[in-house]
Amino acid sequence: MIALTLREIADAVGGALVLRGADASPDTTVDGTVTTDSREIAPGDVFFAKRGEFDDGHRFAPAAAQQGAALLVVEHELDLDVPQIVVDDSVIALGALATSVVARVRAAGDLKIVGVTGSNGKTTTKNLLRAVLERVGPTVAARASYNNEVGGPITMLALEADTKYLVAEMGASGVGEIARLVRMARPDIGIVLKVGLAHAGEFGGIEQTVRAKSEMVTDLLPSDVAVLNVDDPRVAPMAALTKARVLTFGLGANADVRATDVVVHARGTEFTVHVPGGESASVRFGVLGEHHVMNALATVAASVELGVGLSDVVAALESVTLAERWRMQVMGGRDGITVINDAYNASPDSMSAALKTLAQVKAPGTRTIAVLGEMSELGEFSGEEHDRIGLLAVRLGVSQLVVVGQGARRLHITAINEGSWDGESAFVETSDEAYELVVASARPGDTVLVKSSNAAGLRHLGDRLGEWFS
């Protein structure tokens, strides 16, 4: 975080400063990392004591103090010998501090901010943008999927005085959450990747999901840029909702930034990218899966808008071989057996894309095994979407389907009810059972996909299988 005095922080969050500690004064400067996790505290850091659904961060404030926290932001004064700022709501205070820090850095320098949202692809696109932008200037981007009301501000608070680019991943589980993050960061470029059924149960339906994602562009200024997926019928109409200049990306000829000659293979994806002005370039993209081409196109669009040369953008894209751990992560290798661990999260769109990639990358004469778990947070759409994935697995000719957990059992039932299928489906209750089944049944040359929502926990199964077949 940029250096601020205790008084400045208290003013920013609207809290009461409590001076504890022998040397504390309102003018004491703090410039450490901001976190809500006491385990991450190092000397000089700032700890926000956040109340959670199952625990209370105030319980961990003593540990934060013991590890050298320079400041505690709390909802009631604690008997600890550390300066404290008492606020009504620590999460709201966290956002207020982030808003202040972003405004200060922007006013003092030439900071440019890119906001990224969508039902799928946020983290991948954020990582690709970081790979591009850190080549041309100091860049801050979220770690992992820090994209909610806590993770978003923590990312923003990592800004330093010389930061040139901030890539802010913005997720939501309800209407209004992206708008709050947008008000904190005020993006110069707002990207909307895709609107699908991910978290539709939490949003209350697809219409509410569209409304929430559109919050990325509705408050952009005429001087800003809205980067929109023109291939998505739910995203393209957002062009009418923004005052910003619109730049589109997609595979169709009507896209401003587009890809042609897309070829998918086991080493990644090759395509030609075209940008406004007639310039084009060939890209050998090492991230597995044709669906990631759209994330690459969004990255190209935003990067070129920020003045990065196309050749530099392509070089950065080609340097990335893994979007993120547990996202189309290629593992294994023994006896020609490949494990694709894509079990960080799952929605109907990403599940479909992963299965299609599995079918595309398998070598002739070899088999495919799909180990699939539940797609969570789909609400009323859950049954029909699991049915659809079961049918897709059959129609893609998956050789062996292994369905894990009661939440995904309907997928298994739908698949075995398709009489024309030459493959087979097995249902197991646990990851351990799935592991034993795959280890016993895999043959040389097989390609194994592991895919589920994060809550199903299959990412660790993917790690186990990758290690076994390494």
pLDDT of residue 56: 93
Global confidence as pTM: 0.86
117 marked as part of a ligand binding site: no
Strands in 170-314 per DSSP E: 189-192, 225-229, 245-250, 257-265, 268-274, 280-285
List pLDDT tens digits, range 120-157. Answer: 889 899 999 999 999 999 999 988 778 899 999 999 99
- pLDDT tens across 384-415, in order? 999 999 999 999 999 999 999 999 999 999 99
- What's the CATH code of the domain at 314? 3.40.1190.10
The H or E element containing residue 165 is strand 165-169
Residue 246 located in a structural domain: yes
In a domain? residue 263: yes
CATH number for the domain spanning 460: value is 3.90.190.20
Is 437 within a domain? yes
Asked if 56 and 155 sit in the same domain, the reply is no
Tally Cβ neighbours within 10 Å of residue 189. 25
Which of 30, 56, 88 is the endpoint of a domain?
88
Q: Is 201 helix (H, G, I), strand (E, B) or coil?
A: helix
Predicted confidence at residue 419, as pLDDT, reads 66
Q: Are residues 274 and 128 in the same domain?
A: yes
Low pLDDT (below 70) residues in the chain: 197-204, 419-421
Q: Are residues 147 and 295 in the same domain?
A: yes
Whether 349 and 429 map to the same domain: the answer is: yes
Looking at the structure, tell me whether residues 253 and 401 fall in a common domain: no
Distance of CA 423 to the CA centre of its chain: 33
Do 178 and 312 have their domain in common?
yes
Mean pLDDT of the chain: 93
- Domain contains 102: no
According to the model, what pLDDT value does residue 49 have?
Answer: 97
Last residue of a domain, one of 300, 319, 338: 319
Residue 229 lies in a domain: yes
Residue 257's pLDDT is what?
98
Structure tokens at 309: 């040369």
- Domain assignment of residue 104, yes or no: no
Instruction: Tell whether residue 119 is among the known ligand binding residues.
Output: yes
My answer on whether 201 and 304 are in the same domain is yes
Domain extent, residue 408, equals 329-468
CB 54 within 8 A of CB 40: no
Domain identity same for 182 and 214: yes
Give the CA distances from residue 136 to residues 115, 132, 191, 274, 309, in Å, rounded to whole numbers and listed in that order. Answer: 18, 8, 20, 22, 10
CA angle 416, 419, 423 (to 5 degrees): 60
DSSP assignment string, 17-54:
EE--STT--TT-EE-S-EES-GGG--TT-EEE--B-SS
In this prediction, residue 310 carries a pLDDT of: 98
CATH number of the domain that 54 lies in? 3.40.1390.10
Do 366 and 449 lie in a common domain? yes
Please report which helix (H) or strand (E) contains residue 402, including its range: strand 400-404
How many structural domains are present in the chain?
A: 3
- In the listed set 260, 287, 319, which residue is the last one of a domain according to the structure? 319
Beta bridge partners of 5: 29
Annotated ligand binding at 147? The verdict is no
Task: Report d(CA 37, CA 187) in Å as an integer.
Answer: 27
275 touches 304 (CB < 8 A): yes
The answer to whether position 97 is within a domain reads no
pLDDT the model gives residue 196: 77
> Is 207 within a domain?
yes
Same domain, 283 and 360: no
293 and 211, same domain (yes or no): yes
Contact 106, 165 (CB under 8 A): no
Q: Please check if 112 is assigned to a binding site.
A: no
Report how far residue 271's alpha carbon sits from residue 2's, in angstroms, rounded to the nearest whole number. Answer: 41
124 is in an annotated binding site: yes
Answer yes or no: do 348 and 388 share one domain. Answer: yes
